Every structure is written in C-alpha cells, then in structure tokens.
Amino acid sequence: MTSYDAPLADMRFLLHDLGLLKSVNGLPGLEEATGDLVDAVLEEANKLARDKLAPINHAADLAGGSKMENGVVRTPDGWKEAYDAFVEGGWNAVPFNPDFGGQGLP
C-alpha cells in the first residue's frame, strides 16, 4: 500500500513565511482565508489524501482507471467511496460562494 503525507511544512512556509496568503486574503471575498483556517484546511486535505486516496491509487492504476461501459462510467474499487468522502467533507464546495452552500475559499 502506498503511503502519502502532504508536504505541509513546505506549504505553510510558502503561505505564511513568504507571504502568499496575504496576497490571497487581501482579495475581495477572501478575507476569511486566515492562517488558522488555511492550516486547518491543509490538515484535513492531507487526511483525505493520506487515508482515502493514497491507499487506492496503485490498485486503480493497475485496473486501468475509469472505463465507459454501456454508457456508464465504471471506476476502480474504492473510488466511489473516496468520492463520497470528498463530497461528505465538503471539498466539492470549497471555491463556491457561501450564499450557495460553498465555503468561499480559493
């Protein structure tokens, strides 16, 4: 099984120490993208990648990825569950306006 941990220290260095976060949360509508919030989002994204995606990547590669069968997309084992976890975690709503159920983040 493949293990993965996002390079969180490197990401935080770029965002906080090099000031990239200031260029983002200074934009209209993105003022809520504070350091604490961004760090929490990075931690949760790492958990999703590490716990749900990394364990199934190799098997999906061996299976040949997604396939169209009789007009239906078939995914390798585990991908529907991984997508369900993605949606349940709200990741599909991250960049959208909070007025419409999004999280309003870049």
* pLDDT score, position 106: 85
36-80 pLDDT per residue, tens:
999 999 999 999 999 999 999 998 889 988 999 999 999 999 999
Contact 33, 106 (CB under 8 A): yes
5-22 pLDDT per residue, tens:
999 999 999 999 998 999
Mean pLDDT across the stretch 82-89? Answer: 96
Contact 74, 2 (CB under 8 A): no
Q: How far apart are the first and last CA of the chain?
A: 32
pLDDT band at 25, cuts 50/70/90? confident
pTM, two decimal places: 0.84
pLDDT band at 1, cuts 50/70/90? low
Contact 64, 48 (CB under 8 A): no
For 35, the enclosing helix (H) or strand (E) is helix 35-48
Tokens of 80: 């529907």
The span from the CA of 20 to the CA of 14, in Å, is 6
